[in-house]
Amino acid sequence: MAEIRLRSLAHTYEKDPQSPEDYAIREMEHVWHQGGAYALLGPSGCGKSTMLNIISGLLEPSHGEVIFDTRIVNELSPQERNIAQVFQFPVIYDTMTVFDNLAFPLRNIKTPEHLVKPRVHEVADILELTPLLKRKAKNLSADEKQKVSMGRGLVRDDVSAILFDEPLTVIDPQLKWKLRRKLKQIHEQFNITMIYVTHDQLEASTFAEKIAVMYEGQIVQFGTPRELFEKPAHTFVGFFIGSPGMNFLDIEVTDQGLRYGDITIPVSEKRLAAARASSSDNIRLGIRPEFIHVWDDRNSEAFEVRVKDMEDLGTYRIMTFWFGDALMKARLHEDQRIPQKKAYISFPEQWLNVYIDEFRVEVDDE
């Protein structure tokens, strides 16, 4: 059991890094609290697996420190860190039975055999592997193999954390859901810190209490699924989370307010002040399709926009429309009137986010 702290951690695979692009992980601070169920979410190549391997000790970071509770573990090998890791493709020991596979981590630390047996049976029960214990692991199906890999992580009672590196990649969709439930159940039962790497937002939000979104070697936001949805701290989070992603408008700060082309968009005083205070010319407005208000009729607050097309997705519709020369999307619930050619929309102020240099302006009225 441990709290995992990353202090000014950075990592590069280059011998002689020149620019921030050479870093797989850019300098960061982060704390994974004891007992949490976390997801590390991001597109491929963002540094998720690198970070996982640094935590488990398979990789030594080029800068900074990894701290378990109060102990700096940079120099410690995975063997000494008491970390379990489950890989993308199930790793099983072919020649051993399922029982021996599960017993392997215990036998490696010379656990007496009379303690091995009950422990293996306990874990096998949880993972529903009991009927398979005598089978050779080689002949199992992919999901059974992956359960064996997970079991080897659970069987040791000294593990500080279990790391999952996209463990459900090779699993059939209907079993994915089952295994994810299982993981959650195990988390509640054992109170172990779990870090789950994935590129699938649904997987992340069903498993984790808090999600760290990684982008270009940085954690750009660490928050609950709801926070990621409602207040994306970075334009990437807005784009990556949600389906479809957030709408963005490149705007200009003028004396009249925030303008997109010749349209002035009303925002709250505080946000406007923050935008005015910035010297950057990379200022964007972001709003989720879910939060765009679509009116049934013309009204004084609404902008008139041209509808490009309408997608019927069963319980809701996605309307694509031209706002000036920008294409935006809005979500309509199923019993809402469907606008023809022209629609009347407005952006509720509380859902309108201002991004300066890709990061969200935090205002204290929230």
Q: How far is the CB of 135 from another protein (least distance, A)?
A: 6
Which residues, numbered 150-189, are part of the site for another protein (CB under 8 A)? Answer: 152-153
Q: Which residues contact 13 (CB under 8 A, 6 or more apart)?
A: 24
d(C-alpha 256, C-alpha 261), whole Å: 13
Judged by CB under 8 A, does residue 78 bind another protein? yes
Side-by-side strand order, sheet with 257-260:
252-254, 257-260, 263-265
From 37-45, 81-89, 202-210, 230-238, span contacting another protein (CB under 8 A): 81-89
Mapped onto helix, strand or coil, the DSSP state of residue 325 is: coil
d(C-alpha 306, C-alpha 285), whole Å: 20
Site string for another protein, 57-76 (x = CB under 8 A): -x------------------
| HSE of 15, CA atoms in CB hemisphere, 13 A | 0
Which residues, numbered 104-133, are part of the site for another protein (CB under 8 A)? Answer: 104-105, 108-109, 131
* Torsion sign across C-alpha atoms 180, 183, 189, 191: negative
Q: How far is the CB of 46 from another protein (least distance, A)?
A: 20
Judged by CB under 8 A, does residue 13 bind another protein? no
Phi and psi torsions of 278, nearest 5°: -80, 145
Residue with tokens 């996605």: 318
Q: Which residues contact 254 (CB under 8 A, 6 or more apart)?
A: 264
* Residue with smaller CB distance to another protein, 161 or 228: 161
Judged by CB under 8 A, does residue 134 bind another protein? yes
- Of 143, 190, 210, 130, whose CA–CA distance to 171 is shortest? 143
Judged by CB under 8 A, does residue 195 bind another protein? no
Residues 160/193, Cβ–Cβ less than 8 Å = yes
Give the one residue of 7, 63, 93, 270 binding another protein; rule: CB under 8 A.
93
* Residue with smaller CB distance to another protein, 94 or 365: 94
In the 8-state DSSP scheme, what is residue 160? Answer: S
Give the one residue of 1, 76, 91, 253 binding another protein; rule: CB under 8 A.
91
Give the one residue of 22, 27, 76, 96 binding another protein; rule: CB under 8 A.
96
- Residue 52's Cα: distance from chain center in Å? 13
Angle between helices 142-154 and 98-108 (to 10 degrees): 30
Give the one residue of 8, 20, 71, 89 binding another protein; rule: CB under 8 A.
89
Q: How far is the CB of 136 from another protein (least distance, A)?
A: 4
* Residue with smaller CB distance to another protein, 96 or 142: 96
Q: How far is the CB of 161 from another protein (least distance, A)?
A: 11
Tokens of 5: 């702290």
Give the one residue of 21, 45, 65, 77 binding another protein; rule: CB under 8 A.
77
* Residue with smaller CB distance to another protein, 2 or 84: 84
Site string for another protein, 31-60 (x = CB under 8 A): ----------------------x--x-x--
Tokens of 243: 């389906």
Q: How far is the CB of 182 from another protein (least distance, A)?
A: 20
CA distances from 213 to 84, 166, 209, 353 (A): 22, 15, 13, 18
Binding residues for another protein, rule: CB under 8 A, are 53, 56, 58, 77-79, 83-85, 87-89, 91, 93-97, 104-105, 108-109, 131, 134-136, 138-139, 149, 152-153
